Chain A
């Protein structure tokens, strides 16, 4: 088990790489970090169903990726 701080740093690096990778599959609206079990994941939000989702990677540099499609538009409150 890697140190928590190290896991977080690795996840941050993966998030930056994921921005370019996942923008090829659709319009990303929100890409951040999420807790998964004892570790971290990259969370990618798409505005609509991504294209060719079967070929999307399920991890980046060993960090799992969680994908969510958020169909409803986000407004300032």
Chain B
């Protein structure tokens, strides 16, 4: 707790936020999210509604996922990409971390729609948006080729008792 965040910065001058809470990852059993909440430092502001190239964030999706829907994300590494939900409520997803394999249940699986990867390393934390620009997921894993995984955004918000601004 209280760790500062500089990614992708290089030093203290790039610190924009302080870690408030991180959901611990369990090495046994299953996890539902890989996410954290940070508080912006004084003097740091941003436009949290504008999705460059897409429009304005419409809020959190309340309707259940259907599958085979088009989704978008804006990420640090790959920018704006388009994909489709190839599966939902995905259990037994095993992801490689520095400390080993970590399992997840109830995830969203996304495949690329445009021939290039939907995400690459550094895109974690991107919101996944449906065609009406409602948030559906939080990107956290992938294989750089044909699959990306996201935590359902409603699960993330419930665990942190948070809401999208």
Using a CB–CB cutoff of 8 Å, the interface residues on chain A facing chain B are: 12, 15, 19, 28-35, 40, 43, 45, 70, 72-77
Pick from A19, A35, A40, A70: contact of B91, CB under 8 Å: A19
Pick from A19, A30, A34: contact of B93, CB under 8 Å: A30
The answer to the question of B87 belonging to the interface, with a C-beta cut-off of 8 Å to chain A, is: yes
Pick from B96, B146, B147: contact of A76, CB under 8 Å: B96
Q: Please classify the interface of chain B as helix (H, G, I), strand (E, B), loop, or mixed, using the class held by over half of its residues.
A: strand
B91, A15: Cβ atoms under 8 Å? yes
> In the assembly, what is the distance between CA of A45 and CA of B142, in Å?
13
B143, A73: Cβ atoms under 8 Å? yes
Nearest Cβ on chain A to B97's Cβ, whole angstroms:
5
The answer to whether residues A33 and B87 also contact, given A73-B96, A76-B97, A77-B122 and a CB cut-off of 8 A, is yes
Nearest Cβ on chain B to A31's Cβ, whole angstroms:
5
Q: A30-B93, A34-B68 are in contact. List 8 more A-B contacts (CB 8 A).
A: A31-B91, A32-B107, A33-B88, A33-B89, A35-B66, A45-B109, A72-B143, A77-B119
A-B contact pairs, 24 of them (CB 8 A): A15-B91, A19-B91, A19-B92, A29-B92, A30-B90, A31-B91, A31-B92, A33-B88, A35-B85, A70-B146, A72-B144, A72-B145, A74-B93, A74-B94, A74-B147, A74-B149, A76-B96, A76-B97, A76-B124, A76-B140, A77-B120, A77-B121, A77-B124, A77-B142
B96, A32: Cβ atoms under 8 Å? no
Nearest Cβ on chain B to A77's Cβ, whole angstroms:
4
Q: Please classify the interface of chain A as helix (H, G, I), strand (E, B), loop, or mixed, using the class held by over half of its residues.
A: strand
The answer to the question of B127 belonging to the interface, with a C-beta cut-off of 8 Å to chain A, is: no
Chain A neighbourhood of B139, CB < 8 A: 77
> In the assembly, what is the distance between CA of A30 and CA of B86, in Å?
12
The answer to the question of B123 belonging to the interface, with a C-beta cut-off of 8 Å to chain A, is: yes
> In the assembly, what is the distance between CA of A30 and CA of B66, in Å?
18
The answer to whether residues A32 and B140 also contact, given A76-B96, A77-B124 and a CB cut-off of 8 A, is no
Pick from B85, B109, B140, B146: contact of A72, CB under 8 Å: B146
Pick from A12, A31, A35, A45: contact of B67, CB under 8 Å: A35
> In the assembly, what is the distance between CA of A28 and CA of B105, in Å?
13
The answer to whether residues A77 and B146 also contact, given A29-B94, A30-B92, A31-B91 and a CB cut-off of 8 A, is no
